[in-house]
Structure 1
Amino acid sequence: MGDENASQDNYHRAPIIGYHRAALSQKFGAPRQPNLVALTSVIEMSAPYDTPAAFIGLDEFSHIWISWQFHQNYINKENSINQADNSFRPQVRPPRLGGNQRVGVFASRSMYRPSALGLSVVKLERIEIVQGRVFLIISGADMIDGTPIIDIKPYVAYSDAIIDAASGFAPMAPVSLDVTLTESAYEQFMTLVNIWQLHRSDNKNADTEPATVAALIHKTQSQLLVSDIDVIKALIAQDPRPAYRRHDIKIPFVMRYKSVDVSFQLIESGQLQIIAIVEVS
């Protein structure tokens, strides 16, 4: 067999079985590892994989493995296998090492890898069946909205948890920074939450209407709740800024969360401070 045919045989095509629906629509702000932030999100299964029969027994497990695709890296945006080959990076610079030190791509969890696949263990909060379709309510994902889901498997503690495993250059969870909120930013946030609550109260049947797919996705992606401020602070506490910008004082960065843009900056005290929360225009 010639090299050309052999190279084509090196690719395995897997079906997309669903999509991740979440409050984070952009890469900036997403946790760099799973379970660093207890962010609730939804996996919307696609037909024919959304049949309830395929999930019988899964609710007996507290956590699940998710195989997924890095769909917003520059390689996948090119949408070409050959271009992906030409773009192969043998080394990357992990943020954990300050963004300056290089390691092999296979010694990292970088999104710029040959398969463009991610693997995460998340908590399975519950399984919902809406309009005959299966939706998995999860927490702790490091995926953004629209992420294609390739596979789902139960997490089995006796074999999947290796207590004495060595974790190389990432031996423990990163230290979270302190996050404060200016008074004006808090007022902006509460004003937006009150608008959402008024809108909900205007819909008198909101709590009695049968659940719909549109309502479930809307709540996950857009509806602002009082509890969201704690999630926003937890996301920013992970410091999503590029590693080479970690010491920039009073330089604003913007994280999009649900229907708002959250502006924050590093202040002299070493804290990250949220300075504005405005509705996405």
Structure 2
Amino acid sequence: MPDLQLPIIGYMHSPYQEKFGIPRQPNLVQVESYIEMIAPYNDLCAFEGIAEFSHLWLIWQFHENKNSNENHKFRPQVRPPRLGGNQKIGVFATRSMYRPAPIGLSVVQLKSVKKVGKSVHVYVTGSDLLDGTPIIDIKPYIQYSDAILHAKSAYAQQAPVKKQVICSKNVQSKIQRLIEMDKMTVQTQDELEQVLSLDPRPAYQDDEKRIYKMKFAGLDVSFTVHEHEVSITDIVEMD
């Protein structure tokens, strides 16, 4: 049987500029992003009627896996972050990126669809996609059939507990200067704090003295994590 060939219909533009820091599920952070559709899919006619739906399914490609199954043997078990990164379970019982087909599925909230130059942009919130992620398909979310209110979700039944995000007066001053210089917006600050509140560290890391670094929306962000809070220690514009 021949391999399945899937077209790329567009690319995601998001503030997530590296895998570290991306929420582990969609809709945990209300970050705004947009899909830039490419020809021949950049036709507004293809989106007629979509505004009647509040949410969409995005089908997309894990495109930056360093250990993709395309080049390595099938791994039947993986270590989910929600289980501490140490316990192995079957790959089909997880949403791990390391799977037979490098395909992801995310629900996002639709904001608008606009013609921008020769392209069409699909604006959404709640995405958990890396900047530049190839989009394979877009489908409407159907509330009566897609929402299973009493579904059981094993180890991922509850949403993660959020931590308080704090920063020193010096960091607050830096953020204010970045906003005044149009290098950052108040919305970006809010989105960054939402991301950090989820504690983006791998589950097996628990060093309160370690300074972690994350790239987000053109910014290099440094932070430490404690039991109930995340402290931003520095923030600068990326080179």
Is contact 2:219–2:238 with CA below 8 Å preserved after alignment? yes
Give the Cα separation in 2 of the matches to 1:67 and 1:271.
34
Please give the alpha-carbon distance, in whole angstroms, between the structure 2 residues aligned to 1:265 and 1:250: 7
Q: Match of 1:208?
A: none
Of residues 86, 103, 115 in structure 2, which corresponds to 1:117?
103
Listed one character per residue, the Cα deviations across residues 109-140 of structure 1 (whole Å, up to 9, x for unaligned) are: 01111111000010001111112431100000
Query: Residue 144 in 1 paired to residue 130 in 2?
Result: yes
Match of 2:63 among 64, 71, 89: 71
In 2, Cα distance between equivalents of 1:157 and 1:240: 30
2:179 partner letter: V
Aligned to 2:193: 233
Distance 1:258 1:227 in 2: 11
Q: Say which one has the larger Rg.
A: 1
Is 1:252 matched up with 2:238? no
1:127–1:137 CA contact under 8 A, matched in 2: yes
Which whole-Å deviations, capped at 9, do the CAs of 1:133-161 have from their partners, x for residues lacking one? 31100000010100000000000001100
One-letter amino acid matched to 1:14 = L
SS at match of 2:25: coil
> Higher helix fraction: Structure 1 or Structure 2?
1
Aligned residues: 239
Judge conservation of contact 2:188–2:217 (CA < 8 Å) in 1.
Answer: no
**Residue in 2 aligned with 1:25?**
17
Partner of 1:14: 6
Q: Residues 40-189 of structure 1 correspond to what in structure 2 (within 5 A)?
A: 40-76=32-68, 81=70, 83-84=71-72, 86=73, 88-189=74-175
Q: Is the 8 A contact 1:99 1:244 kept in 2?
A: yes
1:24-59 deviation per Cα after TM superposition (whole angstroms, max 9, x unaligned): 110011111000000000000010001111110111
Q: Which of structure 1's runs of 4+ aligned residues deviate more than 6 A? A: none
Contact 1:65/1:152 (8 A) holds in 2: yes
What does the per-residue CA deviation read over 1:97-120, in whole Å, with 9 as the maximum and x for residues that have no partner?
Answer: 111111111100011111110000
Distance 1:89 1:252 in 2: 33
The letter of the residue matching 1:229 is Q
- State the distance in 1 between where 2:65 and 2:99 align: 10
2:166 partner amino acid: T
TM-score normalised per structure 1: 0.82
More strand by share: 2
Cα distance in 2 between the residues matched to 1:177 and 1:123:
24
Could you tell me how far 1:227 is from its partner in structure 2? 2.1
Q: 1 CA distance for matches of 2:139 and 2:228?
A: 41
* 2:18 counterpart letter in structure 1: Q
Distance in structure 1 (CA, Å) of the matches to 2:120 and 2:218: 25
Asked if structure 2 preserves the Cα contact closer than 8 Å seen for 1:261 and 1:278, the reply is yes
**TM-score of the aligned structures, taking structure 2 as reference length:** 0.96
CA distance in 2, matches of 1:184, 1:114: 47
CA distance in 1, matches of 2:15, 2:150: 34
CA distance in 1, matches of 2:220, 2:136: 30
- Tell me the secondary structure at the aligned position of residue 227 of structure 1: helix
What residue identity is the alignment partner of 2:193? K
